[in-house]
Amino acid sequence: MQITYLLNSGFAVELEHTLLVFDAYDDPARVLDEIFARRSFARVYFLASHSHFDHFNGDLLRRYAEQTERFILAHDIRHTVGARKLPSEKIVWMEDYATWHDDVLAVESFSSTDIGTSFRVEAEGTALFHAGDFNFWDWLGDTHENRMLAANGFHKQLKRMQGMTADAAFFPVDGRLEGAMAKGAEEFCAVTDVRALVTMHSVGFPLWQPPKDFFRVGHEIPVWSPTTAGETKEFAKTGEFR
């Protein structure tokens, strides 16, 4: 599996025969053009977790409509201008807690602590989780009441993910949250069984790496925190990035 960072929460994941593209809103390094010029795929899927401008761009996705098997889009994107730019017969609309599959890809959606959904997907024996904007949005300067609401919403959703397995999880570590920037990722990794963590939603912030006590003892996993559009990592079967 080869993973390339587009920007913000956008990633292209190349499997042996399948290309998965998550939350593509901008591609300043022209990653997608390079991938399509370099190789062909039996199936191409674009997934978008929600309608925020930094997660979904109908103009960008439309450029690859001919090569795309399905656009798998969160329900809140349905009434956007960008959605109307995509061929309707290729769109799969995902509600919260829904499933969809064909003979290559299986998708399970969860709710979010913002808008839209998060996704767990399986293809070619590989399982991935993309959080979208699901996170513990604990704004340290907010009121006690709002912080409690954020905590309750996050933990309620996290219970549905207890025991989730995935080869890699894409999860926000947003520097705007200051000292709380990694609380969501830390708790997510504590209750799931993911083999690697890819951090996202960190444009403009320096490289983040987990502190020594971030993972439970004996449950440490590789972490990749891309900062520059176009960065690429190979994900080995051993669970390592290289």
CA distance 23 to 33: 16
Strand-pairing partners, residue 56, are: none
pLDDT of 38-53, one tens digit each?
Answer: 999 999 999 999 999 9
Answer yes or no: pTM beyond 0.95. yes
pLDDT of 109: 98
- How many of the other CB atoms lie within 10 Å of CB of 117? 30
Q: Is the pLDDT of residue 113 over 80?
A: yes
pLDDT of 15: 98
The 3 state secondary structure assigned to 160-215 is: HCCCCEECEEEEECCHHHHHHCCHHHHHHHHHCEECCEEEECCCCCCCCCCCCCCC
**Domains of the chain, each with CATH number or no CATH:** 2-234 (3.60.15.10)
- Looking at residue 224, its amino acid is W
CA dihedral of residues 129, 208, 175, 166 (deg, nearest 10): 10
Average pLDDT, the chain: 97
CA distance 193 to 168: 10
